[in-house]
Structure 1
Amino acid sequence: MNQAIRPTSENPPLAAGLPAVSVVVPTFNERDNVGALYRKLDAALKGVAWEVIFVDDNSPDHTSDVVRALAQRDSRVRCIRRIGRRGLSGACIEGILASSAPFAAVMDADLQHDETQLPKMLALLQSGEAELVVGSRYIEGGSADSFDRQRAGASALATEVAKRVLGVRIADPMSGFFMIRRDRFEQLAPELSIQGFKILLDIVATARTSSSTRELRTVEVPFTFGSRLHGESKLDSMVALDFLGLVVAKFTHDAVSLRFLLFAMVGGTGLVVHLGTLFTVLQFGVAFPAAQAAGAFVAMTSNFILNNFLTYRDQRLKGLAILRGLFAFYLVCSVGLLANVGVAFSVYDQAPIWWLAGAAGALMGVVWNYAMSGLFVWRRR
């Protein structure tokens, strides 16, 4: 169904030469798929003015070079190469905000999404019937049969959690294939998380709970999720933590950020490491103060490694920067410990309830460590 945009009161006529739809494609190590996707888009969008924006996270396989070679032959192809930034959601946000069309689609570069649905999605938006169109695997006519049992189960569980906890009403909130009115996206963008992988869930949940905008009119269209032809899936165990963090962040109306939640979870593992190290060192007859210091040292080191790998993986330190960051983290956490103890004593003086004082001190410590780590350890370069 190839259909050009018809002007309506919501969709004024386009200026000459401007695209009707921008297709945003986040990439990381997708050089073998870029050319194939471009050809598929060219065939699917005949009769439609379009552009494609590849947002590449500085791929080691030089995906951006392939995109630029395409752009030299076709001005509808654009490339955003991100240095020092990682993450699918952030890439999608940057790509949509850099687009020039009134409608923006998001799809993966792995050829698993059905580009032939793009004209239908565009028609639904341009007619005013919808403000968001989602490519759905879980409505009649859709399919995710290419999933193995483990991934199918994880997807079903995540979908159910999103529906029950966040009140999301669409059938496939975990889809990575959708098209949205760019003006509505602009309204939501300041409240979206640049971390994680589930940009659609963030958009839908934010529109539903935001006080500054109304809920999006949404239509789902079925598509069959295909099999990856080249490269490797970017999904790993970190996606589950990103998803849980996003759910909690949206459930609390963004009172707590996704990054802070990940930082706090890492801090929880640090407590386990601290106690484990303390117990082990004490078994060798070491005095308690020295054993406690060893536990704190190992826990801080563990927390730094996990935060560098997980919480700040989009700003991950490498090479000599790891050593500089580690020493800065030791310093930040040492001051945080003093803040922890000071607040705990102050609370205990006011109300001698040990668990309340301890919790207040711990909260102060994690807030201090998080704030100072962002300023001095993983500051944006």
Structure 2
Amino acid sequence: MSSAVGVADGNTGAEIVSAPQIAAGKSAELSVILPSFNEASNIPILVGLLDEALKGIDWEAIVVDDNSPDGTTEVARKIAQHDPRIRVIRRIGRRGLSGACIEGILASSAPYVAVMDADLQHDETLLPKMLAELKADDTDLVVASRKVDGGTVGEGLSSIRAWGSNIANGLAQKLLNVTLKDPMSGFFMVRREKAEALAPKLSPQGFKILLDLVSSANGTLKIKELPFTFRERQHGESKLDTLVTLDYFGLLLAKYFGDVVSVRFLMFGLVGASGLVVHLLALRIFLLGDMEFNLAQTGASFVAMTSNFFLNNQLTYRDRRLRGTQALVGLLTFYAVCSVGVLANVGVANLMYADPAYWWLAGTAGAIMGAVWNYAASSALTWRKS
């Protein structure tokens, strides 16, 4: 076993602890997957904490970075130059915690893999206990839970986020028959062969990889939950925003309907539902302004398309998100490809608009007619894979 080596990191000022424990020619027993985005300040600290917590265990950490602009990849690679236990995957053109976790797990050859955040909110001292549980009996998955006796959200979640997490937990348990007390946890350890077997069923989108893993297994995984306290973030900012709520509901619906349709399509549909509300509000405002119905319906359609574009760009296609001039070009493209949908929208709505009292029915029918075309065309052209 090598002795510890301290290396100063020029970007963060933190000391990188390098103490390779994997003997020459011996593979890791445990891979710790660290999905990251803008975690340059936390990675060196976390490596030091893992080094301390996992003494006596042959481990490796796989940093899966979504091309962070703060230099997370460079910081992790600098550590890897001195510590062979650290590996780095840099993802370009792809974003999202679930996808990063899946790629990290598939890159591992260790019999056990742990997934934890790189923001220091997960308690690394729990890892040896989780590993011991997997090795002691026939348990397939060990989850660090905030909801079992002894576990708590601590100071890691605001009261609003804690409230939202409780609602999300309840929906997952009721809709998907998930027995986990904390299916929203992002901290767990699993036998690699079990995760690899389920990988083709998992969605690379979204943030709730554990929920996806458990629901995709359909009760075949033997699970144990251990209590832990969710820490407060010390450096950087949370990657979760309000739009993640739609993302989560998309995953719930996809799993509820047996993955018949993709999460991305359902996300597009949820955004489209919000666009329908925008469409009807705009249509009502235009009609109250004595605008002729065809013109009002057309105007409302473009208002809704604009709303849908920006929501889809932020959420549905966050892994292909358009920025700057690309976003402007994308918006114009979105208008163009959806124009056929608008023609169908206006035509159907006009046929149904026989009575002013049923303006909402005519508007809804027209909006629905353009939905399928909008999804197919925008996926192929506006947010096409590079």
User: What TM-score does the superposition give when structure 1 sets the normalisation length?
Assistant: 0.86
1:173 to 183, 193, 202: 183
| Residues 125, 362 of structure 1: alpha-carbon distance in 2 compared, 3 angstrom cutoff | same
Letter in 2 for 1:125: L
User: Is 1:271 equivalent to 2:276 in the alignment?
Assistant: yes
Secondary structure of the structure 2 residue equivalent to 1:32: coil
Cα displacement string for residues 50-102 of structure 1 (whole angstroms, at most 9, x for unaligned residues)? 11011111112111111011011111111111112111111111111111212
Matched residue count: 356
| Residues 215, 290 of structure 1: alpha-carbon distance in 2 compared, 3 angstrom cutoff | same
Cα displacement string for residues 112-167 of structure 1 (whole angstroms, at most 9, x for unaligned residues)? 11111111211222344211111111112222222332222222221121111111
User: Is 1:149 equivalent to 2:154 in the alignment?
Assistant: no
Deviation at 1:277, TM superposition (A): 2.9
Letter in 1 for 2:36: T
Distance in 1 (CA, whole Å) between partners of 2:349 and 2:302 is: 21
Whether the aligned pair in 1 keeps the contact of 2:35 and 2:97 (CA below 8 Å) is yes
User: Is 1:126 equivalent to 2:131 in the alignment?
Assistant: no
Q: What is the aligned partner in structure 1 of residue 318 from structure 2?
A: 313
Q: What is the aligned partner in structure 1 of residue 72 from structure 2?
A: 63
2:42 to 33, 40, 44: 33
Distance in 2 (CA, whole Å) between partners of 1:281 and 1:339 is: 20
| Residues 178, 288 of structure 1: alpha-carbon distance in 2 compared, 3 angstrom cutoff | same
Deviation at 1:286, TM superposition (A): 4.1
Q: Where do residues 101-120 of structure 1 align in structure 2 (5 Å cutoff)?
A: 101-120=110-129
Letter in 2 for 1:245: G
Deviation at 1:33, TM superposition (A): 0.8
Deviation at 1:252, TM superposition (A): 0.8
Secondary structure of the structure 2 residue equivalent to 1:64: helix
User: Is 1:185 equivalent to 2:190 in the alignment?
Assistant: no
Q: What is the aligned partner in structure 2 of residue 225 from structure 1?
A: 230
Distance in 1 (CA, whole Å) between partners of 2:203 and 2:113 is: 18
Q: Which consecutive unaligned segments of at least 5 residues does structure 2 have?
A: 1-22, 351-359
Q: What is the aligned partner in structure 2 of residue 336 from structure 1?
A: 341
More moved, 256-265 vs 109-118: 256-265
Cα displacement string for residues 184-206 of structure 1 (whole angstroms, at most 9, x for unaligned residues)? 11111111111111110110011
Secondary structure of the structure 1 residue equivalent to 2:64: strand
Letter in 2 for 1:315: R
Cα displacement string for residues 318-351 of structure 1 (whole angstroms, at most 9, x for unaligned residues)? 1222232222212221223456689999xxxxxx
| Residues 148, 283 of structure 1: alpha-carbon distance in 2 compared, 3 angstrom cutoff | closer
User: Is 1:324 equivalent to 2:329 in the alignment?
Assistant: yes
Distance in 2 (CA, whole Å) between partners of 1:176 and 1:298 is: 37
| Residues 74, 106 of structure 1: alpha-carbon distance in 2 compared, 3 angstrom cutoff | same
Distance in 2 (CA, whole Å) between partners of 1:139 and 1:293 is: 53
User: What TM-score does the superposition give when structure 2 sets the normalisation length?
Assistant: 0.85
| Residues 206, 148 of structure 1: alpha-carbon distance in 2 compared, 3 angstrom cutoff | same
Deviation at 1:300, TM superposition (A): 1.6
| Residues 144, 282 of structure 1: alpha-carbon distance in 2 compared, 3 angstrom cutoff | closer
Q: What is the aligned partner in structure 2 of residue 86 from structure 1?
A: 95
More moved, 30-39 vs 291-300: 291-300
| Residues 157, 280 of structure 1: alpha-carbon distance in 2 compared, 3 angstrom cutoff | closer
1:376 to 370, 373, 381: 381
Cα displacement string for residues 288-318 of structure 1 (whole angstroms, at most 9, x for unaligned residues)? 3333322222222222122112211221111
User: Is 1:300 equivalent to 2:305 in the alignment?
Assistant: yes
| Residues 272, 43 of structure 1: alpha-carbon distance in 2 compared, 3 angstrom cutoff | same
Whether the aligned pair in 1 keeps the contact of 2:276 and 2:367 (CA below 8 Å) is no
Distance in 2 (CA, whole Å) between partners of 1:220 and 1:282 is: 56
Secondary structure of the structure 2 residue equivalent to 1:112: coil
Q: What is the aligned partner in structure 1 of residue 56 from structure 2?
A: 47
User: Is 1:249 equivalent to 2:258 in the alignment?
Assistant: no
Q: What is the aligned partner in structure 2 of residue 8 from structure 1?
A: none
Deviation at 1:364, TM superposition (A): 5.4
Letter in 2 for 1:163: Q
Percent sequence identity is 59
Secondary structure of the structure 2 residue equivalent to 1:224: coil
Deviation at 1:359, TM superposition (A): 8.1
Distance in 1 (CA, whole Å) between partners of 2:119 and 2:384 is: 32
Letter in 2 for 1:95: G
